[in-house]
Amino acid sequence: MAYIDYYKVLGVDKGASQEDIRKAFKKLARKHHPDLNPNDPDAKRRFQEINEANEVLGDPEKRKKYDQYGEHWQHADQFEAQQQYRQQYGGAGGGAYWSSSGGSFSGDEGEFSDFFESLFGSRGGHRSGRSAGFRGQDFNAELQLSLRDAAQTHKQVLTVNGKKIRITIPAGVENGQTIKLGGQGAPSINGGPAGDLYLTFVIPDDPVFKRLGNDLYVDAPLPLYTAVLGGEQVIDTLSGKVKLKVKPETQNGTKVRLKGKGFPVYKQEGQSGDLIVTWRVEIPTHLTEKQQELFRELQRIG
Amino acid sequence: METDLIIVSEYCQQSRIEPSFIALLETEGLIDIRIIEGTRYLHYSQLCDVERYFRMYYDLSINIEGIDAIRHLLKRMESLQRELSSLRNRLRFHENSASYLEYPEEDCF
């Protein structure tokens, strides 16, 4: 457990007045507050550090104790200090309150560092609240889906904070897309509505199909003889195999577009993008003497 | 009557938010209050915003005009983030498509 220099966190001198500390805290809080930096875990972590520093330095009693034991906290009689602290601060009262419970914080308790807890004990029960937040907390979660799973509407059971939630994922969700599941966050402690669950989809690359919006791209092998003479070739699509006609003299890299064989359009049932097939002409290998002779013949007459 | 409505005075009491703050938000057009038979109601879907504005106002000392400006900027930021995510997906597509075979230097002549 490392010592935390709360003065450094707030960017103030050790001799800073309470007013200086308050101003430094407000300035940094306006920069890093999660409400002003949605979906930014770095800002959230930084705000928690600032908040913890203010909890200590913003309270003259805690600040005195921190100044006294701070750097040598491991030599202090922690047990006695905690006992004294509890007697002194038990019940309501305490430092500044930041109403994080209704915001995007993952939890109100346990956000402070081990260093803080070792010096001041658990903060539970000694912070006063100006507003407890009527709604339950919102939760944020990530869900990894394969491209093929994302292509079909399906049900999944998620476990979020120990609670099982059954959800239906509509076909066509995109990598990085976030959906809101109303009322699936934490229950309210004040009889209000539960918070919401924000679910972000992570869809890794598929080894076969590449997605661009609602269109899919696939490279398909084409035997040289079919490319030269034309014919039929079976290719894979997301919904199964299809047989394609190949024109004679098809060049390597030729693209063909198959309407409606791409990715389903999100929340537009029955609609899909296109599948763009790029022919990759395969040059035959391990030729026999006879085959090599025929190619030479072609070369001569070509 | 809709069940997703809460009486403003009850909400203020339970969440320890001053009714005048709700009135201020309403006056500035940040929230909509429904009045049914003389009783003022808030829709549940607005509670998240109310609590966010509360934190900005009291914890960050941002005035109502500032909150309104931030609200617009956050909406714009959200839209830009969506656009960024979509562009990242496109970039990933093009990066993955642009794979080349290494050609040995001695074979170039």
- What domains appear along chain A, each with residue ranges and CATH number? 6-120 (1.10.287.110), 139-202 (2.60.260.20), 210-301 (2.60.260.20)
Rounded mean pLDDT, A270-293: 96
A120 and A149 Cβ atoms separated by less than 8 Å: no
A16-28 pLDDT per residue, tens? 999 999 999 999 9
Among B45, B53, B59, B87, the residue to mutate for chain A (most A Cβ within 10 A): B59
Q: B59 — contact with chain A (CB < 8 Å)?
A: yes
pLDDT at residue A80 greater than cutoff 70: no
> Measured between CA atoms, how close is A72 to chain B, in angstroms?
32
Which residues on A lie below 8 Å from B55 (Cβ)? 33, 35, 98-99, 102-103
Hey, are the CB atoms on B15 and A196 less than 8 Å from each other? no
Whether the CB of B47 is below 8 Å from some CB of chain A: the reply is yes
With a pLDDT cut of 70, the percent of chain A lying above it is 82
ipTM tops the 0.85 cut: no
The yes-or-no verdict on residue A185 having pLDDT over 80 is yes
Q: For residue A109, is pLDDT > 60? A: no
- Tell me the C-alpha distance between A60 and A54, whole Å: 11
Exposure b/e, A105-119, CB count within 10 A at least 16 = b: beebeebbeebbebb
DSSP state letter for A75: G
User: In the predicted model, what is the mean pLDDT of residues A81-88?
Assistant: 50
pLDDT, mean of residues B50-56: 93
Chain A interface residues facing chain B, Cβ-Cβ under 8 Å? Answer: 26, 29-30, 33, 35-36, 38-39, 98-99, 102-103, 129-135, 138, 174-177, 190-193, 196, 205, 210-213, 217
For domain B5-95, say whether CATH 1.10.3720.10 is its number. Answer: no
Nearest alpha-carbon partner for A150 in A111, A103, A203, A107: A203
pLDDT band for A280, please (50, 70, 90 cuts).
very high
CA distance A28 to chain B (A): 10
B32 contacts B26 by C-beta, under 8 angstroms:
yes
Q: What is the pTM of this model?
A: 0.72
> Residue A212 is nearest to which of B59, B78, B93, comparing CB atoms?
B93
Among A47-56, A69-78, A210-219, B72-81, whose mean pLDDT is lowest? A69-78
Q: Where are the domains of chain B?
A: 5-95
- Give the DSSP H or E segment for B48: helix B47-54
Taking 60 as the threshold, does the pLDDT of residue A108 lie above it? no
> Which residue of A133, A134, A174 is in closest CB contact with B89?
A174
| CA gap A247, A228 in Å, rounded | 8
pLDDT for the residue A65: 86
Subunit contact B51:A131, Cβ cutoff 8 A: yes
pLDDT of residue A192: 84
How many whole angstroms separate alpha carbon A35 and alpha carbon A22? 19
CB-neighbour burial class of residue B45 (10 A; exposed 0-12, middle 13-18, buried 19+)? exposed
What does the block give as tokens for B97?
């498509």
Beta carbons of A33 and B52 less than 8 Å apart: no
